[in-house]
A and B are shown apart, each in its own frame.
Chain A
Amino acid sequence: MHAAVIVFPGSNRERDVVRALTLGGAKVSMAWHADTALPAGTDLVVLPGGFSYGDYLRCGAIAGRAAIMDAVRAHAARGGLVLGICNGFQILCESGLLPGILTRNAGLKFLCHRQHLKVERTDTAFTKLYRPGQVIDVCIAHGEGNYTADAETLARLEGDGRVAFRYCAANGDTHEAANINGSLNHIAGIYSEKLNVLGMMPHPENFVEDLMGGTDGLPMFKGLAA
C-alpha cells in the first residue's frame, strides 16, 4: 500500500496522518498541492486536516480547485482510494468528489473533544477491521462540520448505505444531544458511490497509540494497509 498525503498551504495535520499511515503499515510520501501528478504507484490519496488557504471563501473551496485535485479526481475515477479528514472532507465536498457541504456548526462553537462514532458498515477498504455496529472513540476539532445536502442527495446517501460514520453517545445512541454540530442525520462521514472515497470530520489519526489516549483510529490505517 502506497499512500500519498497531499499538502496544501495551511494544512497542519499532514505529519500526524503520515505517522498513523506508517504505523498501519503503509509506505507514505507527501505531494504538494501545485503538483499535477500523484507519486508513481499511489494506491491511497489522503487529504489531511488543517485550514487550507486559511479557510478563505469557504472551507476547502480553494484547495478543492488546486492543480493536484485533477489528478486526485482521475485517481478516484479509476477506483483508487481517497481519504479526506476534517478539512480534507471539506475539500472533497468542494471538489465535487463527494456530495453536500460542511457548514458552520449549529452551535457556532469550534468543537474540540473526544467523540464517539458509530461505524455504519464494515465491508469497505476503510472500515474492514472494525466490528459491525462498533462504536469508536476518536477526536474532533472543527468549526465547520455541519453536514448539509439537499433532501434528494440525503435520501440517496442513506438508501445506498453511503453514510460511513454517525456522531453518537458512548452506548451508540443517536439521540439529539449526540449530534454535536447539527449535521443531517448525525452524519460524521460519507462514502462515494463506489465506496472508494471517504470523507470524515473526526480525526482517526489522533488516536493510534496508547500514549495519545486511545487507539480506535488505528484499525482504519491497518485496514487500509492490509
Chain B
Amino acid sequence: MKARVTVTLKNGVLDPQGKAIEGALKSLGIEGVASVRQGKVFDIEVDSTDRARAEAILKQAGEKLLANTVVENFKVEVL
C-alpha cells in the first residue's frame, strides 16, 4: 500500500530555512508569496493491505522517528 507522511513545523516555531526560501522567491520576482514554511514528505510503501493497520504503522513511524514532536506535526495519508 502506498502512503505519504507529511511533516510540518508547528505554528510559532521559527523557520529560518522557510524565511530564506521566501526571500529567494521574492528575489526571483515571483510575486504574491506571503510566507513559506518548509516541511518534509515521506513516500512510504507499507507491507499491508489493511488500511487501518497501515495507518497504525505510519502513526508509530511518525511518532518514533519521522517527526520530532517538540517542534513538528505530522499527517498520515494512505493513498
The residues of A with any CB-CB pair to B shorter than 8 Å are: 57-58, 61-62, 65, 94, 99-101, 103-108, 146, 148-150, 182
Contact = CB atoms under 8 A, between A and B. Distances in A.
A61 B68 contact: yes
B70 A58 contact: no
User: Which 3 residue pairs spanning A and B have beta carbons closest together?
Assistant: A101-B70, A108-B16, A104-B16
Interface residues of B, number: 11
Contact of B16 (A99, A100, A106): A106
Given A101-B68, A103-B14, 18 more contacts: A61-B65, A62-B65, A65-B64, A65-B65, A99-B70, A101-B71, A104-B17, A106-B14, A106-B16, A107-B16, A108-B16, A108-B20, A148-B13, A148-B14, A148-B70, A150-B70, A182-B14, A182-B16
Nearest to B20: A108
B58 interface: no
B54 interface: no
Contacts of A57: 65-66
